Each structure stands twice: as C-alpha cells, then as structure tokens.
Amino acid sequence: MKFLYLLALTGCAALELTDGTYSELTAGKSVFIKHYAPWCGHCKKIAPDWEKLEKKFEGSETVLVASMDCTADTTKATCAKHGVKGFPTLQYGNPEALETYSEARDYNAMETFANALKPPCSPSDVTHCDVEQKASMDELMEKTSQELEHIVEESDEQLKKTEKKYKDRVDNLQRKYKKFTAERDAALKEIKDSGVGLARAALAHKRFEVADEL
C-alpha cells in the first residue's frame, strides 16, 4: 500500500484518494480534500492551484492535501459518507469528521488555510488533544468495538433524520413558493386583462391633445 502511495505521488500531478486508501493515507493527519467530477467546469478552473497546493504539502507529516473523483465507483462510499452533493466540494479537518471549506479558492487563500491546519486528536496520537478531548478519548477507548459501532450508527441515523427534516421543510417552502407565484401571476394577469391597457392609452392620448392645444 505504501508503494501505491508513492506511485500516486510520482506518477501523476494529483494525489487521488479512494475508498480503499482513504483511511491509511489520512491517518493521523488533518486533511484538505477536493471532491470533484471530471466534467465539472468549476473543478477544472481551480485544478491548477489545487495541484500546486498538493505539491506544496507533499510529504507533510501533519497535513494531507488530496483529491477525490466522486463519480468513480472506487470513491462513492467515502464521498457519500461525507455528504458530498455538489462539485467542487472542499472539505478539511479530521478525516472522519470533515468540515466544509467556504473561503476563497485562489492559491494564496487555500495555502494560508492549509498552513493553519493542526493535526487532529486521534487514538494514535493524543498529544494534539485538549484536556476535554483526551478525557473523551480515554472513555471511548474503554468501550468495545460493538459499543463504538452503536454510537456511530446512532449518530449517523440522527444526521439522516435531521437532513430529511430540513429537506422536507425546504421542499414544503418550494411548493408554497410555486403556489404563491402562480397566484400572483394570475392576479397580475387579471388586472392587466381588465382593460387598464386601453385606459392607459386613452389617458396618454388625452394628455397629448392637451399638450397640443397649448
């Protein structure tokens, strides 16, 4: 696997992550990942700066800058896990709890941001954990794999319910918006069809006659 990692660095411009390599290559590091689609115009636009950023952090012990083609079969599970829905989506932070990057996408801005990333708190290296995180980590490490799986599954289920709840609200608002728009358009049409156009024409004609008399 390490050989494949080195091959990825030397054989192509971008460091591409897959479902199979994600955990190993991101372990113990803060990450900055570009999720993209090959056909995406905005993705192509930032590609040169992103590749330059990847090269800048190549070999870093604490920060991994990489890419994921979310249209590939070998990446779909990870992209779905992190909620990637549009392209390009830039995410950063703890590899298992990514946050969305929403700042400027030019090289200088992204490099400054990446430089400020700190190594994540992890079971393999608690030196980067604050007191509260270390206490939580110690407590979690006392649990069995089954107990931890239950915690993760429960959290994932809550995330899905929350996303569905707000999606339903947005869908409802969109339906109401369409209804109100249709009602507005009908009301405006009714006013316009009432003869006001002829009234405007008659008024304009009379004003013209008055002006002509003067």
Number of domains in the chain: 2
Same domain (yes/no): 136, 162:
no
Same domain (yes/no): 10, 116:
yes
Same domain (yes/no): 70, 34:
yes
Looking at per-residue pLDDT, the higher value among 163 and 32 belongs to 32
Same domain (yes/no): 125, 157:
no
pLDDT of residue 193: 82
Same domain (yes/no): 150, 129:
no
CATH number, position 16: 3.40.30.10
Helices 107-115 + 41-56 axis angle, to 10? 50
Domain-terminating residue out of 111, 142, 173:
142
Q: Tell me: the pLDDT tens digits for 131-186?
A: 998 898 889 999 999 999 998 889 888 888 888 898 899 999 999 999 999 999 88
Same domain (yes/no): 127, 67:
yes
Same domain (yes/no): 120, 23:
yes
Q: In the predicted model, what is the mean pLDDT of residues 72-80? A: 94
Is residue 25 pLDDT above 90, yes or no? yes
Q: What is the mean pLDDT of the chain?
A: 87
Domain-terminating residue out of 123, 142, 161:
142
Same domain (yes/no): 187, 108:
no
Residue 200 burial (CB count, 10 A): 10
Same domain (yes/no): 161, 114:
no
pTM of the model: 0.66
Same domain (yes/no): 160, 105:
no
Same domain (yes/no): 127, 165:
no
Same domain (yes/no): 125, 197:
no
Domain-terminating residue out of 91, 114, 142:
142
Q: Which domain holds residue 9?
A: 2-142
pLDDT of residue 163: 83
